[in-house]
Structure 1
C-alpha cells in the first residue's frame, strides 16, 4: 500500500510540474539567417543568392511572410552599397504560411512572385565583396503575431 501511495504522489508531482510550466514564446535568438554557398562568381555573369531562415529552437513555428521575405545587400571593398541596373521591379503582395520544424531551414526567394533582380545580381568589377541577407517575417503563436527582421552575418566573396 505504501508503494502505491508513493507512486501516486510521484505522478501528481510530475503532473503539477508539467501543467504549471510556462509556454515558450518565440524570440529572435531562436532563428538564424544565412546565405547558401556562393562560389566561382565571375565578373559580368549573373549569379543567384538564396537566403535561408534556420529554426535553432526545439519548437515548431508557423511563419507568415510575403514574397520578399529575403532581401540582399552587396557592398564593395570600400563599403559602398553596389546598386543594380534595374529599370523596374515587380512583386506580388502574396502571403505565405509555412511550418518551420525544429532545426529545419526554410528557403523561399519568392521567385514566381517577384522580379529576378531581387535575388539575381551581376557584378561588373573584380574584387572582394561583402553580402548580407535580411529576413522579414512573422511567427504566429497562440493567436498572436511576433514580427522579426533578422540580418545574417556578413559573408565575403571574391569576384574574378
Structure 2
C-alpha cells in the first residue's frame, strides 16, 4: 500500500476526476481532495492511495509536473511526518499544535565547533527580540515614570 501526495490541483477538481485519472496506473483504494472545513472549497491538494508500490511509482513517473485539469500538478510519496519544508505552517523546532511544543535549540550557523552560538530568532507573540543597549545610553522614556526614579533625592 502506498500513498501519494497530489499538489497544485485546480480549485474545481473533484475526487471522481482525480480517481479516474490516477486509476490509469493501477487499482486505487482511496482518492481524496482535501477541502476547507469552513467553506467546503478545495485547498488545492489531495491524496491517492494505491494497493501496490509499483503502481504508485508508475503514477509518480507519469503524472509529476504534468498538466492535469488545467494546472500543473506535483506528485510525490506522502509522508506521515508532515510537511517537508520548514517555512509556512508546520516544521521547524516549534511544530506542535500551539506553535511552542519544545524548547528552542541552539544553532552555530555553519561552524561545527563554533565558540559563538546564536539562539534561533523568536518573532512570536512577544514582538521583536530585545536589542542590546549601548553603554551610556539613557533608559527608554516609557520606563521612567514620575516618582519611580528621583535622581535629586538620591544624590
Band of TM-score, shorter chain: under 0.3
After TM superposition, the score normalised by the length of structure 1 is 0.20
Q: Pick the structure with more strand per residue.
A: 1
Higher-Rg member (1/2): 2
> Larger RCO: Structure 1 or Structure 2 (Cα < 8 Å, ≥ 6 residues apart)?
1
After TM superposition, the score normalised by the length of structure 2 is 0.20
